[in-house]
Amino acid sequence: MFDSQATVSPALVKAMADTIHHRGPDDEGYYISGPVGLGFRRLSIIDLKSGHQPLSNEDGTLQIIFNGEIYNYLELREFLLSKGHVFKTRTDTEVIVHLYEELGPQCLEKLRGMFGFAIWDEKAKTLFLARDRVGIKPLYYCLTDKALVFASEIKAILADPSIEREIAPEMIDRFLTFLYVPGEETLLKGIRKLPPGHYLLVKDGRPTLRQYWDLQFAQPSRKISLKEAESELLTLLAETVEQHMIADVPVGVLLSGGVDSTGVLSFAVERTQKEISTFTVGFSGGNVADERPYARLAAETFGTRHHEITISPEDFASFMPKYVWHMEEPVCEPPAIAMYYVSKLARKHVTVLLSGEGGDEAFAGYSNYRNLAWLERVKCGLSPMNGVISRGLSLAGSLFHSSRAAKYAPLMNHRFPDYYNGRTSNPYRYTGNGLGGLYSASYAQGIDREHSLEPVRRLQEHVRGQNTLDAMLYIDTKTWLPDDLLIKADKMTMANSIELRVPLLDHRLLEFAASLPSTFKLRGFSTKYILKKTLSRRIPQQILDRKKTGFPVPYESWLRNDLKDLVWNVLTDRETINRGYFSKDAIERLLKADSIDANYSKEIFSLLSLELWQRAFLEGEQVALQ
């Protein structure tokens, strides 16, 4: 689109769209006009007959392709009708294009939902790309000196032969530091993520990236009683889940057997006259908590049609190439296995799934929040003793083989939030695990640690001065949530042509949670306090009181036993070592050291994912997609 005399190849646009057929098996559509080409694959959810895309405004000067759902589209439609706009469909897509006519980029402030979309303005010769506030839906782009190429998945961009498949070596260290890839960059040079809550406006070949939303933690928190907050939260939850139930296709609920998903189900059954299907997953082999009894309890309590699936080590092994191909970015996220198989089961019954994803980030559900908040209180109250306490924790870690004591010992001598990265309390996880010689000498010499840490360092500065809990929640919402959990959720469900909706990440719900005092979310040793209290009369007590687990996957024992040969063959293979990033001796030491007492399963899974990713996306090895 930078050369006004250039012509986009229709065959190229179709080839790009075909690579993401799984995201939209129901329909396809194209708009080609000189230097502009838009391609779309549709998963039909609303207005099944007339929702064909690309879709235009009344005079055809605006063209939109849109992935996602706008939950307040009926309300916005009434507003736009009052302004004189003429609609030819009843889709949420058409609401966006007319709203853009009215408000331009400010239209984003009115949208309530998940989205990644592009609008071509023929009159102004501008391209407008936008991504939802939290990053529920992905959007990638590559800006070259000749064109802007964008898509919902990286593989569609790579279908353009002009885009080189070149790795950014420095990003390997970022991945192995965090075990996912925070920030705008990907492991492929030139291919970037449009950040959540941002839009990109391109005119005359010049891109302008702007932020339109950020999560604000009130300082000080709003003045509200716990009882008032509970009442407001109850109303907000009911409204949010009701909006997320809007669809012209069957809707189901993904059950983990925990508080969040059961809470979502409790509201969903009140918002429909139709029988709801629920889905959960279990595993054969390995010593992990079984979610299925709690999921069955939730299903029985609310009278759903319940479905289960069991995953074996063989399923895990056969899934790995597909995991890499669909995820597109190396991510240490073994529960993605559960997500893939349970959504595959769900696709036989429904097209839309609701999940409880996001409740932990909104209302402080992880034990990490509780532990680090208490650690900071201890450090403030006993600051002269921090050195002594640190040495004591280190000694306890050595004597009693306590990973928790060893984890928190060094933090006594570091100020918050310098050590907090949103995934682990140690941003130097890889070099801090006793196997710092993993990298080859040549690669280690060229590492720019500040570049690896840059996305989180920037956020750490942003939250400096905020209370500990708010700072952790903000950093996680900006990193761990969009770049790990939501990538997993979107890619694994869309791999099976399922749309996953996450009511607890509605931006109004997030803003409400952020406005509350920290003690409403974390009270004493109780996590997610106000959410549990609000749901206490709605969900079974056994679920309310159970220890948090969340789709536990026995991948640790699988990697050490059933899949040991596969792991050794891939990670010590000549092709792997010849890339020059790792020392073969160090890799072998890592594999030999992995045990119940010295657990390096996350590192091993990450290395395995990284190597399979390189084979799929750099060498273009074909992956059987069944």
Token pair recorded at residue 17: 């769209």
pLDDT of residue 425: 40
Greatest Cα pair distance, the chain, in angstroms, is 75
The confidence score (pLDDT) of residue 408 equals: 64
Structure-token pair, residue 488: 């997993």
pLDDT at 279: 97
Residues whose CB is less than 8 angstroms from the CB of residue 465 and which lie 6 or more positions away in sequence, other chains included: none
pLDDT given at position 434 = 42
Q: What is the mean pLDDT of each run of 10 residues along the chain (626 residues)?
A: 75 97 96 95 92 94 97 97 96 97 97 98 96 98 93 97 93 91 96 98 92 88 90 97 95 95 97 92 78 94 96 88 93 91 97 96 93 85 56 51 59 78 43 59 88 92 92 95 96 98 98 95 94 96 83 84 90 94 92 83 92 92 49
- Which residues 6+ apart lie within 8 Å of 472 measured at CB? 364, 368, 369, 372, 373, 417, 420, 422
User: What is the pLDDT at residue 541?
Assistant: 95
Q: What domains are there in the chain, each with its CATH number? A: 10-211 (3.60.20.10), 226-364+476-545 (3.40.50.620)
Question: Are 423 and 179 in contact, with CB atoms under 8 Å apart?
Answer: yes
Q: What is the pLDDT of residue 424?
A: 44
Dihedral of the alpha carbons of 253, 254, 256, 257, in degrees to the nearest 10: 20
* Closest CA relative to residue 331, chosen from 11, 606, 22, 45: 606
Residue among 262, 343, 243 nearest 23 (CA): 343
**Helix (H), strand (E) at residue 281:** strand 277-283
Distance CA 493, CA 66 (A): 18
What is the model's pTM? 0.94
Q: What pLDDT does 317 receive?
A: 87
